[in-house]
Amino acid sequence: QVRLVESGGGLVQTGGSLRLSCAASGLTLSSYPVGWFRQAPGLEREFVATITNMGSTTAYADSAKGRFTISRDRAKNTAYLQMDSLEPADTAVYYCAAKGPPLRIGELPASRYEYNYWGQGTQVTVSS
């Protein structure tokens, strides 16, 4: 059974940093593209960042470029989202996701509909 568990969310002031973790079980995370998404109250779930399978190529939403960094640790079967220079607009529930088969080497899926496996989410709140 595939399970993704996010952690690391919390309350932080504007300009602060958080590192979110996504621990996987039931699948080898490095074999799948991994994405981070977020959803604020009343809004659609939106793409934040993705990292390709079998490599380290990444892609980011414009809102995340230059401030957020997605990475993975193969040995720990865990993905991360380092978030710096946080702003109140970043307040949301953050979800990690993994895209299942069919897979293409180097793909960078940015649509939530392309992902098969989801975590339960972790709340990030940025105070002004």
Q: What is the pLDDT of residues 34-82, one digit of tens each?
A: 999 999 999 999 999 999 987 789 999 999 999 999 999 999 999 999 9
> Exposed, middle or buried: residue 103 (CB in 10 Å: 0-12, 13-18, 19+)?
middle
In angstroms, the CA 95 to CA 59 distance is 16
Q: What is the pLDDT of residues 79-122, one digit of tens each?
A: 999 999 999 999 999 999 999 888 888 899 999 999 999 999 99
